Amino acid sequence: MIRQKTSTDRSDRRPGRTWKLAALLSSAALATALSGCASTSDGASAGGGGDEVVVGYSGYTLSNPYFAGLIKGLKDGAKSHGFKLLQTNSNGDNNTQVNDIQNLVTKGADYIVISPADASAIVPAVKAAKASGATVIAISDTIKSDDIQFTVAMNHVTIGEQSAQGIVDFLTEKNGSPSGKVIDIQGIAGSSAATDREKGFDNIISKYPDIDVVARQDGGFDTDKTYKVMTDLLQAHKDVEAVFTSNDSEAQGATKAIEAAGLLKKVGEPGHIFVTGNDAPAPAIADIRAARQDMTVSSNPIKLSEQVMDKIAELEAGKKVTGFIEWPGMVITPANIDSAEVKEYGIWADQVG
């Protein structure tokens, strides 16, 4: 059972953090990893005093709107509970993210919330942070380490399965049976979210031997990269009928490439190429409302990260919070986007500019 902390508890353990962490990170394995520069972005002063609860967020990107939603939820949750929030952004660099985690500990973070670029690469830093006295939490993605207190994330395998099932349903209606040609745009290599979404996609598609996955390419969770990849793939596969993408940034790239190739037809029109994504940022929601994109699986990162702060408050109150806490997703399509069910779940893109 986790006991309720007091100001004495925090002051007792903070002074030893810096030297403890330095000792833990002095191994040859981490010496290279720490060559990057820290990227604290909020300008907050180091440390916290008295009874103040300090929460550090280690993120790896701000370019994807989904993470703007995560940060909004963390800010809203911090304000609600009276926590101090420190933020970092490693811009996709694993070495920098390791260094960011070290700096958050040095600044006195009681809790470190991590959205990893590469979940394996930061495990030693997670271990070091835990050993120094910080409580480490994974958000939106999993980190395979016993040093993680709890994780709040969607089941990314389920996301892949829901997206793939959308493709199966479309092809079945279009062709009279589950058959047709599909392109698979994968996420960042090394990301557990990308790996699990791909697993979910394969779980469903492998059941239908007449569905031909004609190409698999890494889109890097990025619109521009996916646009280039999809442009090249369309040269060889103009007869593709559906595209699976690992997130909505990739879905945007795929749709733009289809449009540039003169192949874009609206949802429901003959010759339409089915495109599915997930995360539900504003561009995807706009395309669904305009019948340019077929579906997305939303995770509402604002509410997801607010729940992380709620769980931290429970820890502070002495409650036990451990393990994987699954955040439910919501399939959004042109047919249901205005439904009461979607409205209740929330379209988070309408809250983030």
Could you read off the pLDDT of 200-224 as tens digits, one per residue?
A: 999 999 999 999 999 999 999 999 9
Give the residue extent of every domain in the chain.
7-154+301-321, 156-298+334-342+347-351
Could you give the CA distance from residue 300 to residue 278 in angstroms, rounded to a whole number? Answer: 10
Over 137-181, what HEC string results? Answer: EEECCCCCCCCEEEEEECCHHHHHHHHHHHHHHHHHHHHCCCCEE
Q: Nearest-5° angle of CA 333, CA 352, CA 226?
A: 60
Model confidence band, residue 197 (pLDDT cutoffs 50, 70, 90): very high
Residues 39, 100 contacting (CB under 8 angstroms): yes
Residues 197, 159 contacting (CB under 8 angstroms): yes
Could you read off the pLDDT of 280-336 as tens digits, one per residue?
A: 999 999 999 999 999 999 989 999 999 999 999 999 999 999 999 999 999 999 999
Residues present in the chain in total? 353
Element containing residue 348 per DSSP (H, E): none
Could you read off the pLDDT of 123-161 as tens digits, one per residue?
A: 999 999 999 999 999 999 999 999 999 999 999 999 999
Residue 32, pLDDT above cutoff 50: no
Residues 322, 135 contacting (CB under 8 angstroms): no
Residue 118, pLDDT above cutoff 60: yes
Fold of 7-154+301-321: Rossmann fold (3.40.50)
Residue 13, pLDDT above cutoff 60: no
pLDDT at position 33 is: 39
Model confidence band, residue 11 (pLDDT cutoffs 50, 70, 90): very low
Could you read off the pLDDT of 73-116 as tens digits, one per residue?
A: 999 999 999 999 999 999 989 999 999 999 999 999 999 999 99
Tokens of 238: 């103009």
Specify whether domain 156-298+334-342+347-351 bears CATH 3.40.50.2300: yes
B/e letters for 18-31, b = 16+ CB within 10 Å, e = fewer, are eebbeebbeeeebe
pLDDT at position 38 is: 41
Model confidence band, residue 50 (pLDDT cutoffs 50, 70, 90): low
CA dihedral 220, 222, 227, 228 (to 10 degrees): -50
Amino acid identity of residue 3, one-letter, is R
Model confidence band, residue 352 (pLDDT cutoffs 50, 70, 90): confident
Using a pLDDT cut of 70, give the percent of the chain over it.
86
Please choose, from the candidates 315, 303, 352, 310, the residue with its C-alpha nearest in 3D space to the C-alpha of residue 154.
303
More confident site: 130 or 24: 130
pLDDT at position 191 is: 82
Q: Is 79 helix (H, G, I), strand (E, B) or coil?
A: helix
Residue 244, pLDDT above cutoff 70: yes
Equal fold, 7-154+301-321 vs 156-298+334-342+347-351: yes
Model confidence band, residue 353 (pLDDT cutoffs 50, 70, 90): low
pLDDT at position 148 is: 98
